[in-house]
Amino acid sequence: MKVNESVALEHGLSKSEYKKICELLNKTPNITELGIFSAMWNEHCSYKSSRLHLKNLPTEGKKVIQGPGENAGVIDIGDDDAIVFKIESHNHPSFIEPYQGAATGVGGIMRDVFTMGARPIANLNSIHFGSPRNKKTKNLLRGVVRGIGGYGNCIGVPTIGGQTCFDESYNGNILVNAMTLGLVKKNKIFYSKAAGIGKPVIYVGSKTGRDGIHGASMASAIFDEKIEEKKPTVQVGDPFTEKLLLEACLELMAGESIIAIQDMGAAGLTSSSIEMASKGKLGIELNLNKVPCRELNMTPYEIMLSESQERMLIVLENGKEKEAKKIFDKWNLDFSVIGKTTNSKKIELFYDEKKVADIPVDTLVENSPMYDRKWKKSKLPKKNKLNKDNFKSLKILNVLNKLLSNPNICSKEWIWEQYDHTVMGDTIQKPGSDAGIVRVHGTNKAVAASVDSSASYCYAHPLTGGKQVVCESWRNLISVGAEPIAITNCLNFGNPEKEENMGEFVECVQGIGEASKYLNFPVVSGNVSFYNQTKEEGIKPTPSIGGVGLIKNYTDMVTMDFKKVDNIVLVIGKTEGYLDQSIFSRDILRVKTGPPPEINLFNEKNNGQTVLNLIKKKLVRSAHDVSLGGILVAVSKMCIKGKKGLEIKKPKQLINQFEYMFSEDQGRFIVEIEKENYKQVREILEKNSVHYDELGIVLDKDIVIDEKTKVSIDDLIQSNNNWLNKFMEA
């Protein structure tokens, strides 16, 4: 095929980008070279619209071993142990083909983790779907959940937590964000930087097929009515092969053979080889005839751009080929020496003894576009003046039951019961909690992880919403007794070429940066997913934050279920009665305007550290952060988990009962304490200038709101559990 401007445009390149490529090469690229540029210069691989702003995120900390720039981030958890973790999107593929899209998303993120020498120990996910009234939502949800479970369950890694949201903005573009944690010894971490000249470059894993070609480019495209035509760009996963690949790689890593290793993810052999060469500041020469292929007559273009799954690229020490091959033969995986490192600083490709591509590495990486796109600053919306007379017609139990059955609050047990969350035998807090927790096998340590997002807050005011989602992750980790260490982010936004969408991204990133810096909660890995829209309809800005923390002794772990009758329940943090953008306001009052609740970072940090201190002193029996739905929803979930009731005291605040019970003021926790410890707890709270309210006393059954209003735990369970089950059965 003759390459020209129109062919370049079909590959997702702009006119100016095509012109720049011709100038850098001092020639017109051939079709293979053009395909390589289109893969490396798209948003998914180059971060051309985002990396200018991502540079401002805090990425360093006392426990950070590796920040952004590698396959995943790495943190130190003591005793020469480290946790490798990352979250990444597989949005477009999952909308086109939900089972395989979600499955390969899980497979891809696990490869990112074990590529660095870590054995995966836990998976999480953040999945967002359109309105339940949308005709596609149910099938998309069913397919995605089956895909996540089908892959994770087969490979034998527990899914310990996650988040599921519904909003009409995702009708034409769902989000599937997958997160994996792995465990590794600090002295056995592997990186992707190639080194040395004349070192063998090894292909291992599955054979290369035509599936997934243009997958990376498709991830940076806007959907239209021809979306079904994009199904061939969705990769096909095989978890059983991935399990073999995992074990084979870890076995090889136990020796001293590997110089560098990189999984073939987005853009396949193209990105893996170029990233290794770029980081090592050297060249790589590949003989494409030696690439194991499962289809006949594959062209160099197809071989280089295929995103077939379960493949790795390795640079070995000289003389280690036979040793390595023996291992991969044992695990029944393909093994082929397909090239070598060179001092050319080029990617040179040969096929049928002809050179079919000759590209300086710098042109693909250092010289890739970086755009300072125009963006529109958001205005903080005016606060709503709610007519309190409207509350008179509301009954608090009706409101509570409606909120507990809201798609974004209701129990997601239908989803997570399809995931194996106990395999490996170290899961000690399963999905449905503030954070999932796995014990570090053979030790007393435990690692906690959660995934959070808040699209409504970010849509109302991106800067505040960005701060909030980091603080939410912080609170979730603290609520289980974990010391927050670091975060990974998956930033899901619309078309960056639109000033409004770009502004949402810029300000969300600013908010994330401010909060993570203040809380000493650095960003160590992540992913940006742009162009999440169909035609002109974009999603709400949705940054997903995956937080990771450490519990030094797993026996100090706290759960959210109320434990004992007559224990005192406190609300930590001040309740101002903030209703704008709350689910009460949006779902009950039908008011969707106004700013999100304010974020006071000092209070977030002070309140969180104080609660964590109380937990470490064994003064807290149960804990739960206050988020969607406010105080009454939070305590209802604690009652449901513990099969206990609560007698609620009349609040002292001079605010309406509905404002107190359903507001979403930030920085708050619900904690249960023993009566005999109340004095000590009060002294600590007052010493730290932490506001608290005495909410009530744990009962054997029923939530008693006042002398006229009570509800049984069985009724709460029914309200909380029924919606999703009925929705999926209908």
Rounded distance between C-alpha atoms, residue 533 and residue 510, angstroms = 23
Rounded distance between C-alpha atoms, residue 691 and residue 714, angstroms = 32
Q: Are 483 and 553 in contact (CB under 8 A)?
A: no
Compute CA distances 475 → 65, 73, 322, whole Å.
24, 21, 51
Q: Are 477 and 539 in contact (CB under 8 A)?
A: no
Active site residue 44: yes
Q: How many CB atoms lie within 10 A of CB 256?
A: 9
Buried b / exposed e along 141-172 (16+ C-beta atoms within 10 A): bebbbebbbbbbbbbebbbbbbbbbbbbbbbb
Buried b / exposed e along 618-648 (16+ C-beta atoms within 10 A): ebbbbbbbbbbbbbbbbbbbbbbbbebbbbb
Task: Please name the residue that has the structure tokens 């003759």.
Answer: 2
How long a stretch of residues is the chain? 730
Looking at 11, 44, 421, 461, which residue is catalytic? 44
Helix intervals (H) in 620-702: 630-642, 657-662, 678-687
Backbone angles phi, psi at 84, to 5 degrees: -105, 130
Looking at 11, 53, 90, 624, which residue is catalytic? 90
Beta bridge partners of 97: none
Q: Are 554 and 428 in contact (CB under 8 A)?
A: yes
Active site residue 11: no
Backbone angles phi, psi at 338, to 5 degrees: -110, 0
Rounded distance between C-alpha atoms, residue 232 and residue 295, angstroms = 15
Rounded distance between C-alpha atoms, residue 268 and residue 216, angstroms = 9
Cα radius of gyration (the chain): 26
- 682: burial class by Cβ within 10 Å (0-12, 13-18, 19+)? middle
The count of C-alpha atoms lying within 13 angstroms of the C-alpha of 332, restricted to the half-sphere facing its C-beta, is 5
Rounded distance between C-alpha atoms, residue 666 and residue 468, angstroms = 8
Backbone angles phi, psi at 259, to 5 degrees: -90, -45
Task: Please name the residue that has the structure tokens 């000759």.
Answer: 358
- Which sequence positions are flagged as catalytic? 44, 90
